[in-house]
């Protein structure tokens, strides 16, 4: 009798324990806290290994022989997300980009999307986006300190410089939000709490086009080949937007020689200067398309470089773009083996194309014209020659 009573007590305790666990697990706060992984600001060095593919997903295989999914029978996702910085007013043009991205790639993978904005996204924006994407969506607000003037910036001087640039017809030279955007994309997007759980990102902009089937997962291409950054188009920067960026970079390399990789990619971005010292040739990976390692940008080396540039003030007194900033950093801190040209990934951001050639053009059912590709149509702007001839 005493024994049976003991068992009953034990069973009762066990049932109560299970009920408590069940209730806790399904509480909305608990679910939220799992989703909102806290921001981490110390991500360790460049050697931090990304986690392997995280989720398995069976592709929607080809009953239809013309469906793009026949290229991948079974896929696994990397620990990755699309990152989209945009305004509520960009709704139609971002839906255009995402409809095609889904059709050519993501309807087989369902990678998640992270949307960022300095203002709250409207319900209309959120609902409308969810109609065109197959991955989960996350909408985040940018912290004010990532989209405002740091205290050391003289805002009157910044305004005067903007006015001068506008008079000189420098593209976006008179725009204040454009400068916050470039600074955010240079130094902060990878620190947003909504990205803390991911290793890889793919940047997408409004009104871009993906004219070919994307038959390989770009995240996987990078991870499996031990690379950290991939691009489609490489061009030269307008010198008027970055008068002192290169000198500031030289000072950084002088002060932090231990941060400069050996070998590196400096040959890709340098040309012989007039007085014999190398100068910046303006070459950069066009950052409206990027697939890359978030941990590269979270590294001590990159953060030290961004801080150095930010202190120098050129995001506001000049109009330093995130594309040259990313590219110069990649060239200082990495060697060529870490950088990948997605030659066969068809892409358009006005006014330039990357259009695959020959067999790839046919196989990937590209709708772009090969001859419109930047190397053919605008050879003087393209930096692909410089990239190819840079030694390993």
Sheet holding 339-341, edge to edge: 137-141, 113-117, 80-85, 200-203, 290-293, 229-231, 339-341
Q: Near ligand GTP by CB under 6 A, which window of 84-92, 270-278, 293-301, 312-320?
A: 84-92
Helices 322-333/300-312 angle, 10° precision = 140
Cα→Cα distances 298→7, 77, 190, 208, 217, Å: 55, 22, 7, 27, 23
Pick the catalytic residue from 78, 161, 237, 290: 290
* Contacting residue, 46, 80, 82, 90, with ligand GTP by CB under 6 A: 90
CA atoms within 13 A on the CB side of 224: 10
The answer to whether residue 197 forms part of the interface with ligand GTP (CB under 6 A) is: no
Pick left, alpha or beta for residue 240 (phi over 0 → left; psi -120 to 50 → alpha; otherwise beta).
alpha
The answer to whether residue 177 forms part of the interface with ligand GTP (CB under 6 A) is: yes
Q: How far apart are CA 81 and CA 199, in angstroms?
A: 9
The residues with which 291 forms a beta bridge, in sequence order, are: 202, 230
Among ligand GTP, Mg ion, none, residue 118 binds (CB under 5-8 Å by kind) = ligand GTP
Among ligand GTP, Mg ion, none, residue 309 binds (CB under 5-8 Å by kind) = none
The answer to whether residue 290 forms part of the interface with ligand GTP (CB under 6 A) is: no
The answer to whether residue 60 forms part of the interface with Mg ion (CB under 5 A) is: no
Q: How far apart are CA 100 and CA 94, in angstroms?
A: 10
Site string for ligand GTP, 213-252 (x = CB under 6 A): ----------------------------------------
Site string for Mg ion, 200-229 (x = CB under 5 A): -----x------------------------
Residue tagged 């470039």 (tokens): 182
Residue tagged 């030694």 (tokens): 391
Q: Near ligand GTP by CB under 6 A, which window of 55-63, 83-91, 122-130, 213-221?
A: 83-91
Q: Does residue 237 carry a catalytic annotation? A: no
Helices 322-333/176-187 angle, 10° precision = 20
Q: Near ligand GTP by CB under 6 A, which window of 60-68, 177-185, 211-219, 366-374?
A: 177-185
List residues near Mg ion by CB under 5 A. 205, 288
The residues assigned a catalytic role are 290
- Residues near ligand GTP, by CB under 6 A: 85-87, 90, 117-118, 177-178, 181, 205-206, 288, 350
């Amino acid at each position: 009798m005493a024994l049976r009573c003991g068992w009953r007590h034990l069973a009762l305790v066990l049932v109560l324990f299970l009920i408590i666990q069940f209730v806790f697990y399904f509480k909305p706060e608990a679910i939220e806290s799992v989703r909102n992984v806290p921001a981490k600001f110390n991500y360790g060095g460049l050697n931090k290994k990304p986690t392997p593919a995280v989720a398995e997903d069976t592709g929607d295989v080809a009953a239809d022989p013309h469906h793009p999914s026949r290229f991948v029978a079974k896929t696994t996702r990397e620990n990755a997300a699309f990152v989209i910085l945009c305004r509520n007013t960009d709704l139609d043009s971002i839906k255009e980009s995402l409809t095609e991205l889904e059709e050519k790639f993501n309807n087989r993978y369902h990678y998640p999307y992270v949307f960022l904005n300095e203002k709250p996204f409207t319900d209309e924006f959120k609902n409308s986006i969810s109609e065109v994407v197959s991955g989960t969506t996350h909408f985040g607000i940018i912290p004010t300190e990532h989209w405002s003037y740091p205290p050391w910036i003289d805002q009157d001087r910044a305004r005067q410089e903007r006015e001068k640039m506008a008079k000189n017809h420098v593209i976006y030279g008179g725009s204040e939000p454009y400068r916050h955007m470039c600074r955010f994309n240079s130094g902060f997007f990878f620190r947003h709490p909504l990205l803390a759980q991911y290793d890889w990102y793919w940047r997408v902009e409004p009104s871009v086009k993906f004219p070919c089937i994307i038959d390989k997962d770009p995240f996987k291409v990078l991870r499996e080949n031990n690379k950290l950054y991939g691009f489609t188009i490489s061009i030269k920067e307008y010198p008027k937007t970055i008068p002192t960026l290169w000198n500031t970079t030289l000072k950084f390399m002088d002060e932090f020689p231990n941060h400069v990789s050996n070998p590196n990619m400096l040959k890709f971005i340098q040309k012989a200067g007039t007085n014999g010292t190398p100068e910046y040739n303006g070459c950069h990976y066009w950052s409206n398309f990027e697939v890359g390692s978030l941990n590269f940008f979270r590294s001590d080396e990159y953060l030290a470089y961004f801080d150095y540039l930010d202190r120098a003030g050129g995001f506001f007194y000049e109009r330093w773009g995130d594309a040259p900033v990313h590219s110069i950093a990649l060239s200082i801190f990495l060697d060529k083996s870490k950088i990948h040209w997605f030659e066969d990934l068809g892409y358009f951001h006005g006014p330039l194309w990357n259009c695959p050639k020959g067999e790839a053009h046919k196989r990937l059912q590209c709708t772009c014209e090969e001859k419109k590709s930047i190397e053919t149509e605008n050879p003087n702007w393209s930096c692909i020659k410089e990239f190819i001839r840079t030694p390993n």
